[in-house]
Amino acid sequence: MSKPLEGVRVVELARVLAGPWAGQLLADLGADVIKIENPDGGDETRHWGPPFIKGANGEDLSAAYFHSANRGKRSAALDLKNAEHLSALKKLISTADVVIENYKVGGLKKFGLDYESLSKANPNLVYCSITGFGQTGPYAHRAGYDFIIQGMSGFMSITGEPDGQPMKAGVAITDILTGLYAVSAINAALVKSLKHNKGSHIDIALMEVMAASLANQNMNYLATGIAPARLGNAHPNIAPYQVIPVKDGHIILAVGNDGQFARLCEILNTQELAQNPLFTTNQKRVENRDALTISLTAATTEWARGALIEACENHAVPVGAINTIEDMFNDPHVKARELQIATSLGVPGVRSPFLIDGQMTSNIDTAPALGADTQSILSGLAHGWPARN
């Protein structure tokens, strides 16, 4: 099966997660993604372990972290301070459709690798700059770190228990979302390049991505002037939409309307709750959330987890288990959808979560060794790669 971005060449001048995540998604969609790394150690995440991935003969294949974001790429080890390497890189970019970079603002200009310089030789170039705070503004000079952005954006102020510490997400959510937004903007800019024969400079900032992603919580504030607070696992606008205890653990209830609530009450044999004036509408349930939780908990703790989940599923009440990552990978539905994959060297991985025409698009080439493709890329340039694919 041909992939949507086959024939598109991407030069990735990015490290750690946001930029590489974008590059991996583009590779999964068929692009030829060439990762440019410093010969002295390469991407920092190659060393962010344990755990580390070992090859069939025990050789070091870099940290598991690196493999999470660099599947399906080629690696060229080039030193930007080396005139020969820099010249080769500029020639490579003249053949490219996309550049992804996450250097500090202005950091590439001294090498002639900024958008203004490169677009003169390649006017159709889509150039995506990923930074912490964007290309302008009083914080533009600051480095961006996922954890810090989670705090500054307001995300941590609404995450965690009301009487506990503000909490970050359990994964670098800012970087992941930034990679996704970057791919969306890159693909839109590629369409522009094809239709209008003109490139683009994309300015994407971690701070703005995380702030914009607060969705309904942003609007809750803008509508009221009151900053939302931490609610633990409760939802600010819906109830009961939360973690609830059962006899042998916890489950998630995601009751989104009055009909679902009435059916939940039937299951729990607490029909009086559905008729109680405190709980008859979602608005009232949100306003009386604490009393509702006490009443529901008294009933749910009489149930075993599996039995209550089955009963809710049988009566169209949204419910879910709280899995470990091991549980998730062993879930029969996850197995049936073949989310876990093995790459070309047998390294385990997770496919991109989209199918196109029913087919998996994920590239199964193992994340490259540092500089594994330097010579073949330089040789291709020397033998006259086309100006653009």
Enter the tokens of residue 191: 């369409």
Q: What is the pLDDT of residues 233-246, one digit of tens each?
A: 989 999 999 999 99
What is the model's pLDDT at position 310?
Answer: 95
Report in angstroms the alpha-carbon separations of 255 from 38, 242, 273, 282. 51, 9, 14, 9
Distance CA 55, CA 35 (A): 21
What is the model's pLDDT at position 381?
Answer: 87
Enter the tokens of residue 367: 């994340």
What is the model's pLDDT at position 389?
Answer: 43
Low-confidence ranges of the chain (pLDDT < 70): 385-389
Q: Which of 175, 258, 327, 331 is catalytic?
A: 175
What lies within 8 Å, CB to CB, of 252 at 6+ separation is 233, 242, 243, 244, 319, 320, 321, 322
Tell me if residue 258 is catalytic. no
What is the model's pLDDT at position 386?
Answer: 60
What is the model's pLDDT at position 385?
Answer: 67
What percentage of the chain exceeds 70 in pLDDT?
Answer: 99
Q: What is the pLDDT of residues 52-62, one digit of tens each?
A: 998 888 888 99
What is the model's pLDDT at position 291?
Answer: 95
Q: What is the pLDDT of residues 133-175, one digit of tens each?
A: 999 999 999 999 999 999 999 999 999 999 999 999 999 999 9
What is the model's pLDDT at position 93?
Answer: 95
Q: What is the pLDDT of residues 278-320, one digit of tens each?
A: 999 999 999 999 999 999 999 999 999 999 999 999 999 999 9
